[in-house]
Amino acid sequence: MSEWFLQLVQNKYIYVPLMTWFCIQAFKVVYDLVTTRKFNFKRILGAGGMPSSHAAVVMALTVLIGRSQGFNSEMFAVSLIFSFVVMYDAAGVRRAAGKQASLLNKIVETPGLSNIEVQEKLVEVLGHTPIQVFVGAIIGIIVGCVF
């Protein structure tokens, strides 16, 4: 194994957020399996749902940076602002796009309303509710403090 790869996999600023993302996405797959009794592998890569893996990942990284560089450092400030942008996007822009996709799917499916033939439905679960983002952020903060 080359030295750069070893450094990459030992870098906590990479593996902690990635493991956080993986664990949350795996939780969503298991939760979906328990509640619907169907295995949906698309949930491992899919967006949306409780909790927000986006929020957890960026907040875990932000706390890791704050703890190592200082909470008054430039890197922490950049990471925190980046985290706010990601969480705003998850709860705002992407959630709105999901609502629009839902409405468009209904319009296309309504007989006589549209003569558009669609091969597949638009993805409706794109974003998060504010509570899903909040819970994800709390998980990220906890993960960042533990590691």
Residue-wise DSSP of 52-64: -HHHHHHHHHHHH
The residue that leads in pLDDT, 5 or 68, is 68
Contact 87, 52 (CB under 8 A): yes
**pLDDT for residue 41:** 75
**pLDDT for residue 19:** 95
**pLDDT for residue 43:** 73
Distance CA 36, CA 12 (A): 35
Count up the domains in the chain and report the number: 1
HSE (CB half, 13 Å, CA atoms) of 109? 9
Domain span at 141: 3-146
**pLDDT for residue 2:** 85
How do residues 24-83 score in pLDDT, each as one tens digit? 999 998 988 898 888 877 777 777 788 999 999 999 999 999 999 999 999 999 999 999
pLDDT at 114 over 90: no
**pLDDT for residue 77:** 98
Task: Look over the chain and give the mean of its residue pLDDT values, rounded to a whole number.
Answer: 85
